[in-house]
Amino acid sequence: MFRKSLAKYVAMSILSLACIGSTLGQAASGDDFKAQIETLRKSLEKYQDYKVAVRDLYLSTVACVHYSGEKIEHHMEYAKGAMGVHFVNLTVMGPPDPAKPNVLIYEPSGGKLRLVAVEWLVPLTADTKERPSLFGEKFLGPMEGHEPLIPKEFVHYDLHAWLFKDNPLGMFAPTNPNVSCDGFDFALLEKPTKMMPERGASAH
C-alpha cells in the first residue's frame, strides 16, 4: 500500500518537474536566442570593413538588390525595400551554423559600404528533411535562385537577420524598407523569386 502511494507520489513529482522544466526551457530559449544574436553581432563587427570580409572569402556579388513590392502569384512576397549588396562565402557549407552566416549584406551609402545584415542560404538537396530554422525562426522557401545573379536552378531556403540596421518589418524580414540602393551605380531591381514545393510535401 505504502509502496504504491510512494510510486504514485514519485511519478507525480517527476511529471510536475517535467512541466516546470519545459516551461523554464521555453523561457530560457528566447533569452538564449537573444544572447546568441548578441554574441553573433559582436563576432561579426569586424566585417564593418568590407575588406576584412573579402579577405575571409565573403565575395561581393556587386549589385545592390531591391524590390518594388509587386506581388506575383506563387512568388515570394517581398515588401518594398532593399536587401543590399550580398557578399557570399562559398566555403561555408553544411547545415546552417548560427555562428557563421554564409552571406554578409552591405548597404551602399555616401561612397561607402555599410554592413547591415547577414543571411543564411541553404540549398534544397535530396537530403533535406525539413525546413531549417535558427533562433526559433523558420527559413523562407524553398525558392528558386534569385535571377539574374543566382541561377534559378539553385533552389534554396534563406533567412536574413538585420543585425546592424533596424528593420521596421522585423529582424528576420527578407527586405528592409530603410535600406536603399538609390544613387548606387549597380542598383538592381529584382522580381520576387518563384516559390518551389517543399521536398516530400504532397502536391497541391
Rule CB under 5 A: say whether 83 interacts with Cu ion.
yes
121 touches Cu ion (CB under 5 A):
no
Contact between 173 and Cu ion by CB under 5 A: the answer reads no
Q: Is 181 in the site for Cu ion (CB under 5 A)?
A: no
Q: What is the CA radius of gyration of the chain?
A: 21
Stretch that binds Cu ion, among 35-43, 83-91, 129-137, 181-189 (CB under 5 A): 83-91
Stretch that binds Cu ion, among 29-37, 115-123, 161-169, 190-198 (CB under 5 A): 115-123
CA distance 132 to 103: 16
Which three cell numbers mark 76?
515570394
Nearer to Cu ion, 107 or 119 (CB): 119
Q: Indicate the residue among 119 and 144 with the shorter CB distance to Cu ion.
A: 119
Cα separations in angstroms, 128 against 53, 139, 198: 29, 13, 9
* Ramachandran bin of 111, using left for φ above 0, alpha for ψ from -120 to 50, beta for the remaining angles: left
CB of 83 to Cu ion, least distance (A): 4
Residue type for position 161: A
**What whole-number distance in Å separates Cα of residue 152 and Cα of residue 146?**
6
By CB under 5 A, is residue 104 in contact with Cu ion? no
Q: Is 64 in the site for Cu ion (CB under 5 A)?
A: no
Using CB atoms, what's the residue nearest to Cu ion? 83
Number of amino acids touching Cu ion (CB under 5 A): 2
The burial class, CB within 10 Å (0-12 / 13-18 / 19+), for 25 is exposed
Which spans of this chain sit near Cu ion (rule: CB under 5 A)? Answer: 83, 119
